[in-house]
Amino acid sequence: MRDIRHHLTDELLMGYSAGTLPEAFNLVVATHVSLCDECRARLHSFDAVGGVLLEEESASMAHGALEATLALISRKAQEPIQPKPKQPAGAFPGPLYDYVGGDLGAVNWKRMGGGVRQAILKTSKDATVRLLNIPAGAAMPDHGHKGMELTLVLQGAFLDDGERFARGDIEVANEDLAHTPIADIGEDCICLTASDAPLTFNSLAPRLVQPFLRI
């Protein structure tokens, strides 16, 4: 597999490690981490530090504890990378395959217009996660964000703001970004995308159907 170029932020990896992310975000983070050596190594160091901080929670933070914690992070980050988990043969990495209960064939797709199809996965209501299938060369509706949006590519690729995102790459978008991802030619682009607030569509038609599509 090619190198993954677009990764999770430290904040997301820490939130995942601490168990504070919405279920929808946990699924996207776990799926990326299963594909990405770099983020798996960083997560490993946050997991180790989280354990140390928990142990120290009752005691007052001793003088030098911060230095010791930072030293631990860098030591953990240098440990050999944990082996890649065994992956199913299809488009869905292990965590997503387990969540859906199968691969692409197990997904109940719904039409969105413009040839785009989506399937919303069942999670807790604080955030939403969906699979998107965007025809090769087609655009997602132009939209902004009220919260955070994570988009992980599973098949094909999309272009956004001069960057190309292919399998394993993750785009982290927030309030500041209004964008129009376009599926690369050659192959339909299938993504797993989570958002913690309704997207704000910029053109009227998508806005009208927004409540029905739960975007």
Binding site for Zn ion (CB under 5 A): 7, 36, 38-39, 149, 173
Choose between 54 and 174: whose C-beta lies nearer to Zn ion.
174
Choose between 7 and 117: whose C-beta lies nearer to Zn ion.
7
Determine contact, residues 159/181, Cβ cutoff 8 Å.
yes
Choose between 149 and 188: whose C-beta lies nearer to Zn ion.
149
For 19, counting Cβ atoms within 10 Å of its Cβ (0-12 exposed, 13-18 middle, 19+ buried), the class is exposed
CB of 175 to Zn ion, least distance (A): 11
Determine contact, residues 14/43, Cβ cutoff 8 Å.
no
Residues 6+ apart with CB under 8 A from 212: none
Choose between 53 and 76: whose C-beta lies nearer to Zn ion.
76
CB of 4 to Zn ion, least distance (A): 5
Our separate counts of H helices and E strands in the chain read 6, 11
Rounded Cα distance between 22 and 34, Å, is 18
CB of 36 to Zn ion, least distance (A): 3
Rounded Cα distance between 78 and 179, Å, is 36
Helix (H) or strand (E) holding 102: none
Choose between 39 and 157: whose C-beta lies nearer to Zn ion.
39
Radius of gyration of the chain (CA): 19
